[in-house]
Amino acid sequence: GDSVTQMEGPVTLSEEAFLTINCTYTATGYPSLFWYVQYPGEGLQLLLKATKADDKGSNKGFEATYRKETTSFHLEKGSVQVSDSAVYFCALSDRGKDGNKLVFGAGTILRVKS
């Protein structure tokens, strides 16, 4: 079945450092790809998405590009802030016959220190 693999955390960075969180996937067909973020004590929020190959999703300074050739959707940010500390989930939309379900990676904890 479809699956998503994320780099293990926690990732600890200093403020203004460059962030990369790796995400690779396996899927039949052409899924949409997502990054969700979970701030402490809250539910998941959609951070960005991409629906086809070479699309770039972006939001709040974060970016990720849908790379079909490497089956990847790595999350990047040029300069992280303390407020970016959260858990980040990569996910794909499984467009099966039963409708669209999300398949999630295990999540990556990001800690940003001042």
Partner 1 sequence: DVKVTQSSRYLVKRTGEKVFLECVQDMDHENMFWYRQDPGLGLRLIYFSYDVKMKEKGDIPEGYSVSREKKERFSLILESASTNQTSMYLCASRTTTGNTDTQYFGPGTRLTVL
- Footprint of partner 1 (CB under 8 A): 4, 32, 34, 36, 41-46, 49, 51, 89, 93, 95, 98-102, 104-107
Question: For 62, what's the count of Cα atoms within 13 Å in the CB-facing half-sphere?
Answer: 23
Query: Taking the complex as a whole, how short is the minimal distance between the CB of residue 34 and partner 1, in angstroms?
Result: 8
Query: Taking the complex as a whole, how short is the minimal distance between the CB of residue 40 and partner 1, in angstroms?
Result: 11
Instruction: Report how far apart, in Å, the C-alpha atoms of 70 and of each of 19, 34, 95 are.
Output: 20, 16, 20
Residue number, 52 or 113, with CB nearest to partner 1: 52
Neighbours of 2 (CB within 10 A): 17
Residue number, 79 or 100, with CB nearest to partner 1: 100
Residue number, 70 or 99, with CB nearest to partner 1: 99
Query: Taking the complex as a whole, how short is the minimal distance between the CB of residue 21 and partner 1, in angstroms?
Result: 13
